[in-house]
């Protein structure tokens, strides 16, 4: 039995691909095909059976971050052009969905803040003196009587 072996390779290649978004499409495809061929060749030539051996192959290839960094370097692309996703996100809903949720959350937070400010301004302008003073810690009274120097 070969538990999850195709998944492990697929996951690895996907993690590399995620980090190559700043590269031209054909260069991305080329690198992924090269890596896939490398893994397939290694598995055949080393007669890999266990998942542990497969992991060793992937470790020798290098982490997706390292491989992607080399790809940018060799492509001559400015490394800053590709925003790198956080390393190894295990479960991923589609990125568009996630982005949408973030925007929604940000917008609703802004609206809430705006409303809150409005309410506070309205209230404080009606109440006269701002209640801010109450929150300020009162200055502690000076010690009752400092030991006066004896003449």
Partner 1 sequence: MASGLRRGTLEFCVLAMVEYEDRYGTEIVRRLAEEQTLAATEGTIYPLLSRLRRGGLLDSKWAESPSGPPRRYYSLTPSGRSALAHFRTEWVSFRQTVDRLVGTGEIA
By CB under 8 A, tell whether 71 contacts partner 1: yes
By CB under 8 A, tell whether 55 contacts partner 1: no
**Least spacing, CB of residue 140 vs partner 1, in Å:** 60
Count CB-CB contacts under 10 A for residue 148: 6
**Least spacing, CB of residue 79 vs partner 1, in Å:** 13
Query: Among 38-46, 85-93, 100-108, 139-147, which window interacts with partner 1 (CB under 8 A)?
Result: 38-46
Among 10, 51, 55, 73, binds partner 1 (CB under 8 A): 73
By CB under 8 A, tell whether 31 contacts partner 1: yes
CA atoms of 117 and 42, how far apart (whole Å): 63
CA atoms of 29 and 26, how far apart (whole Å): 5
Count CB-CB contacts under 10 A for residue 28: 19
Decide: 82 and 22 in contact? Cβ < 8 Å: yes
CA atoms of 146 and 13, how far apart (whole Å): 75
**Least spacing, CB of residue 16 vs partner 1, in Å:** 8
Among 38, 79, 99, 123, binds partner 1 (CB under 8 A): 38
By CB under 8 A, tell whether 8 contacts partner 1: no
CA atoms of 16 and 100, how far apart (whole Å): 24
**Least spacing, CB of residue 61 vs partner 1, in Å:** 4
DSSP string, 97-111: HHHHHHHHHHHHHHH
Residues forming contacts to partner 1 in the complex (CB under 8 A) are 27, 30-31, 34-35, 37-38, 40-42, 44-45, 60-62, 66-67, 69-71, 73-75
């Amino acid at each position: 039995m070969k538990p999850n072996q195709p998944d492990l390779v697929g996951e690895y290649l996907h993690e590399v691909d995620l980090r190559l978004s700043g590269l031209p499409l054909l260069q991305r495809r080329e690198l992924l095909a090269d890596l896939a061929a490398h893994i397939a060749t290694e598995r055949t030539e080393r007669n890999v059976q266990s998942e542990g051996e497969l992991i060793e192959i992937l470790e020798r290839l290098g982490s997706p971050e390292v491989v992607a960094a080399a790809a940018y370097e060799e492509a001559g692309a400015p490394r800053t052009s590709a925003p790198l996703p956080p390393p190894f996100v295990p479960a991923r809903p589609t990125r568009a969905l996630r982005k949408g949720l973030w925007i929604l959350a940000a917008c609703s937070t802004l609206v809430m803040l705006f409303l809150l400010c409005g309410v506070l301004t309205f209230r404080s302008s009606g109440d006269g003196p701002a209640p801010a003073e109450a929150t300020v810690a009162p200055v502690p009274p000076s010690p009752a009587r400092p030991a006066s120097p004896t003449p």
